[in-house]
Structure 1
Amino acid sequence: MKKLTVMVLMSVPACLLAQPDAVDENAAKINPVEDREMIRQWVQTEQLASEELASWQTDKANMQELLELYQAELKLLSEEIDQAGQAAALVNEEKQELEADLAEHRDNRRYLAENLVRLQPKLASVAVRFPEPLKTELDADLVALNELSAIDKPREVLQAMIAVISGAARFNRSITIADSIDTVDGKELASKVLYLGLAQAYYVSGNGSNAGTGKPSADGWQWTAKPELAGSIRQAIAIYEREAQPQLTELPLTISK
């Protein structure tokens, strides 16, 4: 556009020389002010175009940097997704293992509960045969054994059963001396009871007027008065408590089949 303007301006003298009349006519139409304004506007337009081009080149460079940055982030994101996929596979494998362990645990729990339901009443019936000192020692466990449901609380029932069995076994391996208060003819009479494990017991009052033997039964301990054994029972208790010199003492023993 600039070249065209220059060529037109340069061609004006030739026209004036060739056609004087035409030059005079056209010269009257030329307006220098308008021509200068037009040239100024054209130059301004060229400057704006140059500035826009420079701005575009700058923006293009910035966009290229952003594009490279986005591509790098996209690559990192893809790597993280791949790693997440691998981690998800491991998590899924661990989940399957945990589900298998949980299923096995549930089967074991159900098997335990079924056996506890079968054993609980049997052990409760056996506990009726326990002597009073042992019942007192195992009171909380016996309450749990009789009142808790093996289906709803198998752990608690199992703990109670283990405590009862362990306590009974320990008592059965030892000799136990216990104090007892009995009512005879309307009077309270203090006695001492010697237990030979869970199989046999002997009792004697403090003054020796009452004595006898005891043995377990389905309804609890049954006591039989045998006053003639008072001396032997008192001697056996004194020896066990180290209040008398050791010596041979004979006491009757009944073995139940």
Structure 2
Amino acid sequence: MKTFTHGYAYLFGCTLCVAMPSWGQATANLDELTTQWLALDKSTQKLKSDWQLEKQQLKLRIGLLTQENSQLSAQIKQEQHNQDQVSQQRQALLSAQTDIEQVVDAYRLALPSMLSRIQQLLAGLPPYLEHQLADDLNKLTEKSELTAQYQGIANIAKQVAKAENLIVVKQGMITLNGTPLLTEQLYLGHRHAWFITQDNATAGIGYPRADGWQWQPVDAEHDSIRQAIISAKNQVPGELLHLPVNLGAK
């Protein structure tokens, strides 16, 4: 019995000796796993924290990019609007330029006819006024610029219109039936005129015709014509005078 008991005890002791290293190894493994788990959990928490921070930064960046995109879209839209306006203005300028060129061409084409009418007009004016405007007409035909030519035409027209309301006394030569005469002349506007020689022997009227200015003698009213000329020269009102006129004068 003793031998059996000791043998059992020996075997049990051996069993404990064999089992002890396995438990220690498990404990070490458990500690290592725990350490790894804690490290992994710490890494996970750090990743979560980093992600939250990065998420906020990304959200902020997205907001900034969205705002920038909106601003860029607005700028692009404004640029397109500006380009449309520029295109419209360019088109309007081109259209206006075309209209101006057409008007200028029309005036250029009308100029020869206008000059011809001016020459016809001057031919029917009183001789003193025709002579006065002759230089302006010559300068007008010498000018090459269209604007200057039309300004010259306007200047002639103004002088003719002004003469319409003037009473003018002139002295000079006229030709009557092929004979030159030294006369004094009284002009009422540029449609009626009277003349008389120094000796009162010859007197008459003047008026425009289609072929130019016409002088025509009269048999009576010499004294009235002389008195009218004197009153006009002195610029004083005189008595009512009866003067001959050509009713067909225009």
Distance 1:220 1:174 in 2: 20
Alignment of 1:223-238 (within 5 A): 223-238=215-230
Correspondence for 1:178: 170
- 1:130, 1:183 → 2: CA distance? 15
In our comparison, the structure showing a higher alpha carbon Rg is: 2
TM-superposed CA distance for 1:188, in Å, is 7.0
Contact 2:125–2:191 (Cα < 8 Å) also in 1: no
Partner in structure 1 of residue 137 of structure 2:
142
C-alpha change, 1:185 and 1:221, in structure 2 (3 Å) is closer
Q: More displaced, 173-182 or 241-250?
A: 241-250
Q: What's the secondary structure of 2:234's corresponding residue?
A: coil
Aligned-partner Cα distance in 1 for 2:182–2:150: 37
Matches within 5 A, 1:3-18: none
- Kept in 2: contact 1:201–1:214 (CA 8 A): yes
In 2: Cα distance, 1:245 partner to 1:124 partner: 36
Name the counterpart of 1:103.
98
Equivalent residue runs for 1:216-227 within 5 Å: 216-227=208-219
Match of 1:131 in 2: 126
Separation of aligned partners in 1, 2:114 and 2:130: 19
User: Structure 1 residues 183, 224: closer, same or farther in 2, change over 3 A?
Assistant: closer
Alignment partner of 2:173: what SS?
strand
Query: Matched residues in 2 for 1:243 and 1:123: separation?
Result: 32
1:232 positional shift: 0.9
Whichever residue aligns with residue 108 of structure 1, its letter is: V
1:140-185 CA-to-partner distances (Å, cap 9, x unmatched) read: 332245x358xx6432331222122221111112221111124789
| Counterpart contact for 2:124–2:208, Cα < 8 Å | yes
State the shift of 1:194 in Å: 0.7
Structure with the bigger RCO (C-alpha within 8 Å, sep 6+) is 2
Residues 49-93 of structure 1: CA deviation (Å, up to 9, x unaligned)? xxxxxxxxxxxxxxxxxxxxxxxxxxxxxxxxx9xxx7x969877
In structure 2, C-alpha distance between the alignment counterparts of 1:210 and 1:96, rounded to whole Å = 71
Q: Is contact 2:203–2:222 with CA below 8 Å preserved after alignment?
A: yes
**Offset, 1:210:** 2.1
Distance 1:217 1:185 in 2: 16
* Alpha-carbon contact 1:171-1:198 (below 8 Å) kept: yes
User: Which residue type is aligned with residue 106 of structure 1?
Assistant: E
Report the residue type matching 1:165 in the other structure: A
Map of 2:108 onto structure 1? 113
User: Which of residues 224, 241, 248 is equivalent to 2:233?
Assistant: 241
Pairing 1:167–2:144 present: no
Which residue identity is paired with 1:154? L
Please say if residues 209 and 227 of structure 1, whose CA atoms lie closer than 8 Å, have aligned partners that are also in contact.
no
Q: How do 1:29-48 residues align onto structure 2 when only pairs under 5 Å count?
A: none
Q: Which residue of 1 aligns with 2:193?
A: 201
User: What TM-score do you get using the length of structure 2 for normalisation?
Assistant: 0.56
**1:240 deviation in Å?**
1.7
Alpha-carbon distance between aligned partners in 2 of 1:186 and 1:214, rounded to the nearest angstrom: 15
Following superposition, the deviation at residue 109 of structure 1 comes to 0.7
Aligned residues: 171
- Provide the residue aligned with 2:149 in structure 1: 157
Q: Is the 8 A contact 1:144 1:156 kept in 2?
A: no
CA RMSD across the alignment: 3.5
Structure 1 pair 105–175 and aligned structure 2 pair: CA distance change class (3 A): same
In the aligned structure 2, how far is the partner of 1:239 from the partner of 1:182?
22
What SS does structure 1 have at the residue aligned with 2:216?
Answer: strand
> Given the superposition, is the C-alpha separation of residues 120 and 192 from structure 1 closer, same or farther in structure 2, using an over 3 Å criterion?
same
- Structure 1 residue 237: deviation in Å? 1.1
Could you list the per-position Cα deviations for residues 14-33 of structure 1 after superposition, in whole angstroms to 9, with x for gaps in the alignment? xxxxxxxxxxxxxxxxxxxx
Contact in 2 for aligned 1:128/1:219 (Cα 8 Å): yes
